[in-house]
Amino acid sequence: MIDPTPDAIAAAAPLIAPHIRVTPILSVEAEALALPCPVTFKLEHTQISGSFKLRGAFYNMLTRDVPASGVVAASGGNHGGAVAYAATKLGHPSRIYVPRLIAKDEKLRRMRGFGAEVVLTDGSVADCMDEYAAYAAKTGALSVHPYDTLPTLTGQGTVAREIEAQMAQSGHSGIDTILVSTGGGGLIGGVAAWFRDRVKVVSVETEGTNTLEKSLREGPDIDVPASGIAAGSLGGPRLGVDSFAVIRTYVDEAVIVPDSAVFDAATRLWDATRLIGEPGAAVALAALTSGAYVPTRDERVCVLLCGGNAEPDWFVQ
């Protein structure tokens, strides 16, 4: 199996460091969230582009040749925003294909604001992926896949390395479990590649975006139509080949939550911390608040808040 090694992730961290933000961690008391144990949040939604995707975007462009035609990607928003920001900062044009059925105004504004040409596509997420791949083949533009390349997985893995270092520096005794919202598998694949067997890695998806859970049951050759509140960020039709290879080896558990639990988790997060993430970020916390994942009283749990590109009042509408 080919996967990003911890050494590769460690080497990627200083390469992308000048271009990204070290996002903070925050420990929250158990009683504040009405949970059996305290939770440490990784506030990756405060990243420059509003999500973890910036790590993989920069690592792709810093380690691969970018032609004059620039870069191209397909995205519901977070990956597109990250690719647009990284490309503009590095002096490259960017073109982002977005499925019309899951496009959100806030994310479209972010992508365009970071300098991308945005192309809305009709049909399914899989159809959008086909259009973006065809454009890359036709023009020679560098294809920056949201989850199915080793550079993407390696870049995303740096967030896990950063979490572990921050926990050690702040006097925490370590992590037992990390909860990660899952779409195409790039984030959880990178996280799992770093932690391997040292930390329990739990995937969290909604009922309308259960790509990983279904892949583990039925195999990776599936096509999941995205639906529900988190479709814009977690709506990958299938896991990447490289992502799935890492996931089936190192991800310990896959849980599913309903959309109602995502709204509740976002409300609890706001009430306890005055933090707002996008629906995809609240999904990871929803595993705890809904009881889909039940930690022990002494379990050291980290929740990765992966993105913040949403209307700030989405969960109270």
111-153 pLDDT, tens digit each: 999 999 999 999 988 899 899 999 999 999 999 988 889 999 9
Cβ contact 41:29 at 8 Å: no
Q: Which helix (H) or strand (E) holds 118?
A: strand 117-121
Beta bridge mates, 257: 206
Q: Which helix (H) or strand (E) holds 164?
A: helix 150-169
Share of the chain above pLDDT 70, in %: 98
Cβ contact 79:73 at 8 Å: yes
Check: pTM over 0.85? Answer yes or no: yes
* pLDDT over 60 at 1, yes or no: no
Name the least confident of 234-238, 265-269, 307-311. 234-238
Task: Tell me the average pLDDT across 155-165.
Answer: 97
Share of the chain above pLDDT 90, in %: 80
Name the least confident of 12-26, 100-114, 202-216. 100-114
Residues 6+ apart with CB under 8 A from 113: none
Task: Tell me the average pLDDT across 159-170.
Answer: 92
Closest CA to 159 of 295, 307, 1, 268: 307
Task: Tell me the average pLDDT across 195-216.
Answer: 95
Beta bridge mates, 199: none
Task: Tell me the average pLDDT across 240-268.
Answer: 95
Given pLDDT bands bounded at 50, 70 and 90, which one contains residue 215?
very high
d(CA 127, CA 114): 25
Give per-residue pLDDT as tens, 48-89.
999 999 999 999 999 999 999 999 999 888 999 999 999 999
| CA torsion through residues 142, 104, 232, 134, sign | negative
| 293: amino acid identity, one letter | Y
Residues of the chain with CATH 3.40.50.1100: 6-52+150-316, 53-143
Specify the CATH number of the domain 53-143. 3.40.50.1100
* pLDDT over 60 at 253, yes or no: yes
* pLDDT over 70 at 317, yes or no: no
Closest CA to 284 of 198, 195, 194, 212: 212
Q: Which helix (H) or strand (E) holds 40?
A: strand 39-43
| 166: amino acid identity, one letter | Q
Two tokens at 49? 């582009």
Specify the CATH number of the domain 6-52+150-316. 3.40.50.1100
Q: For the chain, what is the mean pLDDT?
A: 94
Task: Tell me the average pLDDT across 287-302.
Answer: 95
Given pLDDT bands bounded at 50, 70 and 90, which one contains residue 2?
low
d(CA 300, CA 21): 25
